[in-house]
A and B are shown apart, each in its own frame.
Chain A
Amino acid sequence: MHQTHSFTEQVAVCAERLAESGVAALGGLFDLTSQRLVRYATTLTQNQHDAEDAVQAAMVQVAKGLHRFCRAEQPWPYLLRMVRNEALQIARRKKRWTLTTNLTDLFTCRLVDELEIEETHRAVWSALRSLPSTQAEVVVLKIWEEMTLAQIAEILNVSPDTVASRYRYAMQKLTHKLDPVEMKVHRA
């Protein structure tokens, strides 16, 4: 939770810099948030190219409405909402839901000493893609963004109960697709 808090603070600092320096400071915000935004958008669009288009569109919106972004009480959830809206628009336009388990579009980071666990990572991403996007995004926000149910509910504009049930269903499905014990043995 401490990590999330400090990340949120870092985004707030970036927003302050944007307010002071204008669009010249957008690079800092991009460097800080792009990886998180792309992986979140990828779960919504089911395609990394579309996800990057969504992130780019959201960043352009930030640049065009700097004052709105800088005045936001919580810039990080605000940015996530912007990316979510762009990603959903793109997903609706392109309708690539048939490629849900195909991972060929992903641009991945693979360290030499992590070669052994790459299969695990691929299995996780593949399993996430098999979930409905409404459930997958809750998993992403809860586990990768370390957000609380209330924070997720605010971003998705649904009740915390709905978030909890989506998370429970998603985790049950993931448990079937990814056997935690086997994975743990594999990772060890």
Chain B
Amino acid sequence: MYAFDWSSIPASLPFLWQGMLVTLQITLVAIVVGILLGTIIAVVRLSKNPILSALAAAYVTLFRSIPLVMVLLWFQLALVPPVVRWLFPKSNLDLNLLIAFTAFAFFEASYYAEIIRTGIQSISKGQVMAAQALGMTDGAVMRLVILPQAFRRMIPLLLTQAIILFQDSSLVYVIGLADFFGVAKNRADSTGSQVEFILFAGAVYLILCLTLSTIVRQLQKRIVI
């Protein structure tokens, strides 16, 4: 029978915490930028301009049709480094972190855009008419009436997507970035306690995701709109 040896883990906790910070940074940036960009894409997709709408639809289709690993590699090999070199030729930016931020933000934006589009469309025409009847412009109707209601309805879906994103962030190992999972894997290789580190990392992901899922369930019960 396999004899577990957990002794390497306490000494690795500071490294794992550093990795967790990277994971949380990627998750947070991707959520914030993804939702902002996703909102713009969703609004553009619902616009009356057929060209803009088609472009927004193409963006969503493109990113939702490609595996995230491939997006990360594209951003690393072809997109981010040349742009950064062009924009900031003398900078010492952490390129891998920047690649992770941008790849996740652009990738998640396509998923958030679909959630937000559905949320916007769930608001009744009567609400839109009531806002227009008060003299609001289309922009004001969207900003003051539709989006605030839509976001309340979307919170559970947005958080569920955030949980998926948190888990998917472990894929950054393909661009050589040491997030929580990457650090755990490195420590596992260097200490020889592979099973223990993978189990420990899995337990951390499980606890965090279960906690977030519980919050989502509670929110679903409380959101009445």
Chain A partners chain B: no
